[in-house]
Amino acid sequence: MPASVFAPWNDPSEKPLIRFRNVTKRFGDFTAIDDLSLDIFEREFFALLGPSGCGKTTMMRMLAGFESPSDGSIELAGQDIVSVPPNKRAVNMMFQSYALFPHLTIWDNIAFGLRRDKRPKLDIADRVEEMLKLTRLEKFARRKPHQISGGQRQRVALARSLAKAPKLLLLDEPLGALDKKLRQDTQFELMDIQEKTGTTFVIVTHDQEEAMTVASRVAVMDEGRLIQVATPDAIYEAPNSVYVADFIGDVNIIAGIASSTGPGRYKIAWREDQAPFVAMSDKPFSEGAECYLAIRPEKVQISAQKPDEAANTVQGTVLDIAYLGNISTYIVELANGTQIKAQIANTRRISNRSFTWEDTVWLSWSDTAGILLDG
Amino acid sequence: MTRLSWFNVTSLTLGFAFLYLPMVILVIFSFNESRLVTVWAGFSTKWYGELLGNEAFLDAAWVTLKVAVFSSTLATVLGTMAAYVLVRGRRFPGRTLFSGMIYAPLVMPEVITGLSLLLLFIGIGLDRGVMTIVLAHTTFAMCYVSVVVSSRLMTFDRSLEEAALDLGCSPFEAFRLVTLPIIAPAVISGWLLAFTLSLDDLVIASFAAGPSATTLPIKIFSAVRLGVSPEINALSTIMIAIVTVGVITASLISKQNAVRQQRDEQTAARTA
Ligand SMILES: Nc1ncnc2c1ncn2[C@@H]1O[C@H](COP(=O)(O)OP(=O)(O)O)[C@@H](O)[C@H]1O
Ligand SMILES: [Mg+2]
C-alpha cells in the first residue's frame, strides 16, 4: 500500500481526532444541527461547505466550546469535551470578524494566548517571532490592528490562533473579507502553513471553489445535516445527490425514468418525442424508478454535424454564449425547451469561433460522462 | 456656512447670560477687596487666604473630597458590574425589572431618595457621618455610571471576549485584560461624572449627614443663611473650577472615545 496517500478516513484502525456522535443543537424550537455524526482525522484540512444559515458556524462554536450540543457528544482525541470550557480546550479559533484586540499591538495580540499559559518570557518571544515570520508580519509587530490592512489583519488573526500550537484550528470563513486575488494567495499560504505545522484545520466556507482548493475532505451541509462527506474530486465527480451536484460547480440535471438495459447500464426516458439517454451507473435503479441524470457542462461536446459514435446525442439551437476568457459556456435550447449547458475551451480567437447565436448544433456525451442520481 | 443673524446672536447672548452671568458675578466678587458683596473695591486674593485659615470650611472640604472619591469609586465598581450583567448576562428572571429599576434613581426626586435613605439609616441604626454620605452618594451616582458604561458595552464586539476565552483566559481574565481596557474611557468618564455629582450634591447629603460630618455644600448653604461673605464666593469659585475641569475632562474622554470607535468601525467596514 502506498504510504504517500493521505486518507486516514479509509483506514479503520485510525482513531479520529474529532468525533461528533449524533449531535443535535436546538435554539429554542429551531433545530440548527440535526442528529449529525462526523469523524475528522488528525492533520486533515477539513472543509464545511453549505449555504448561509445551514449551521456551519454553530458546528465551529460547539468545537470551540461557545455552544454545547442539546444532544449527543463531541470527542476530541478520544475525550468527551462537551463539559470542558473554551479556555481549557486545546482548540483555537480564527474568528470570522478576526476579533483582534484593538488596544494591543500585533506582537501582544499574538503573545496573548502564550502569556495565559505562563510560559517563560523568552519562550514567548521566540514563539511570537516565529509566528510573525510564518505569516510575514515582522515589519508590523509594533503596530495596532487599526494601522494595518485587511489582509494583514487576517494574517494576524491566523498567527494568533496558531501561536499556541493547538491540536485543532478552526477557521470560520477566514477569507471572506479578501478580494479574489488575495484570497487565492492566502489559500495557498494556508495550505502551506497547514503542511508545515501539521495542525488539523477545520475551515468553514460558503465558497465551493475555496473548499475544493484547500481541503482534504469536504462536508456539504444543508439545514443542519450532512449531505455528503468526501474528497473534493469525489464530491465533484461522484456527487451523491442532486443537491450536492448542483451546489458544487455547474451541472445539467435531466429528470427521467430509468430502465435497465444490461449490467450497470440504464436507459433514461426523459421525453416521449426524444430518444432515451444511456448512462452507466454503479448504483442500482429498479425498473421504472425516477432518476436524475447529472452531466457537467465540460463533458458535453458541441458539433455542427451529428457525431457518429457518441452514446447520447441531441439537437438544439444556441440560445446564449457566455465568454469567460479561457472557456465559453454555450446554452443550447432543445426543441422541447429544455436548456443544456456545454463548455468548451477557447483555443481559438473569438472571431474564429464556429458557432454563434441561433445556430443549430448537436450536443453529445458518452455513457460514462453523466452520473445517475435518485434525488 | 450660514452667517450668524442678529436673531441668533441675541438668543445666544441671552442664553449664555442666563446660564453664566450669576457665576461670573460670583467669581468676580470673590476677588473683591471689600467685605461688602455688592461694592467693588479693587482686586485682591485675600479671601482665598482667609479661607485657608477657616477650620470649619477646611474640614467640610476634606469631608466632601473623601466622600466624592470613595462614593464615585464605589459607584463606578458597582455601576460597571451592573451594566456588564445587564448587557452581557443571560436572560434571568426579572431582568427587565432590574434594568428598569437601575435607572429609577435618575428620575426620582432627590428629596425622596434622601428621605428614604435617612429612614433606612435610622431603621438599621447606622450613625450618620462620612460613611452614610458615601453610601447615599454611591446609591444615586451608581445609576449614572451604569448608564454611561452600558451604552458603551452595547456596541462592544462580543467576539473579542470569546477570542480571549478561546486563547485561554478565564471569564474574569477576559474581562480584566480585554473588556475593561477597551471600555476604560467610558468607565473613567463615569467616575468623573459620579465625582462631580457627589461634590455638588446638597439635598441628599443633608439627609445623610450627621453632626459629625458636614459637606461643603451643606456648610455653604447654612453659612449663606447668615449672610453672603466674600469667603463663600472664593470657596464657590474653587468648586466651580473643580467641577468644570471634571465635566470637561469627562466629555473630552467620551468624545475621544467616540472618535476612536468611529474610526475602528470604519476600518472594520472597509474590510467587510
Ligand atoms: N444563538 C442563536 N440563537 C438562535 N438561533 C441561532 C443562534 N445561532 C445560530 N442560530 C441559527 O442557527 C442557524 C445556523 O446558523 P449558523 O451556524 O450561524 O449558520 P452558517 O452556516 O451561516 O454559519 C441559523 O438559522 C441561525 O439563525
Ligand atoms: Mg457563519
Cα A348–chain centre separation: 32
- How is residue B7 written as a grid cell? 436673531
Which value, in Å, is the radius of gyration of the alpha carbons in chain A? 25
B146 close to B86: Cβ distance less than 8 angstroms = yes
SS3 of chain B: the string is CCCCCHHHHHHHHHHHHHHHHHHHHHHHHHCECCCCCCCCCCECCHHHHHHHCCHHHHHHHHHHHHHHHHHHHHHHHHHHHHHHHHHHCCCCCCHHHHHHHHHHHHHCCHHHHHHHHHHHHHHCCCCCCHHHHHHHHHHHHHHHHHHHHHHHHHCCCHHHHHHHHHCCCCHHHHHHHHHHHHHHHHHHHHHHHHHHHHHCCCHHHHHHCECCECCHHHHHHHHHHCCCCHHHHHHHHHHHHHHHHHHHHHHHHHHHHHHHHHHHHHHHHHHC
- What pLDDT tens digit does each residue of chain A (375 aa) get? 445 678 888 888 889 999 999 999 999 999 999 999 999 999 999 999 999 999 999 999 999 999 999 999 999 999 999 999 999 998 999 998 899 999 999 999 999 999 998 889 999 999 999 999 888 899 999 999 999 988 889 889 989 998 998 989 999 988 876 778 878 888 888 888 888 888 999 999 888 888 888 999 999 999 999 999 999 999 998 999 999 999 888 899 999 999 999 888 999 998 888 889 999 998 889 888 999 999 999 999 998 888 888 889 999 999 998 888 888 899 999 888 889 999 988 877 665 667 888 889 999 999 999 899 987
Q: For residue B272, is pLDDT > 50? A: no
* Domains assigned to chain A: 8-238 (3.40.50.300), 250-373 (2.40.50.140)
Q: Ligand 1 atom 9: the closest Cα is on which residue?
A: A58
A281 close to A275: Cβ distance less than 8 angstroms = no
pTM: predicted TM-score of the whole model, two decimal places: 0.80
Closest CB from A65, A87, A95 relative to B159: A95
- How is residue A321 written as a grid cell? 454564449
Strand partners, B266: none
Give me the pLDDT at residue A353, please.
65
> A114 to chain B, minimum CA–CA distance in Å?
8
The domain segmentation of chain B, as residue ranges, is 55-227, 232-272
Which value, in Å, is the radius of gyration of the alpha carbons in chain B? 23
* Per-residue pLDDT tens digits for B130-163: 899 999 999 889 989 999 999 889 888 889 999 9
Residue B202 makes CB contacts below 8 A (sequence gap 6+) with: B217, B218, B221
Q: How many contacts does A have with B, using Cβ atoms within 8 A?
A: 69
Binning pLDDT at 50, 70 and 90, where does residue B266 land? low
Architecture of domain B55-227: Orthogonal Bundle (1.10)
> What mean pLDDT value characterizes chain B?
86
* Per-residue pLDDT tens digits for B147-204: 999 988 988 888 999 999 999 999 999 999 999 999 998 999 899 889 988 988 899 9
Burial of A371 (0-12, 13-18, 19+ CB in 10 A): buried
Contacts of A116 in chain B (CB under 8 A): 167-169, 173
Closest CB from B159, B165, B267 relative to A87: B165
Contacts of B181 in chain A (CB under 8 A): 103
Binding site membership of A62 for ligand 1 (Cβ less than 6 Å): no
Query: Which ligand lies nearest the alpha carbon of A225?
Result: 1
- Chain B contact for A92, CB < 8 A? yes
Give me the pLDDT at residue A1, please.
44
Residue B153 makes CB contacts below 8 A (sequence gap 6+) with: B83, B84, B87, B88, B183
- Decide if A99 and B160 are in contact by the 8 Å CB cutoff: yes
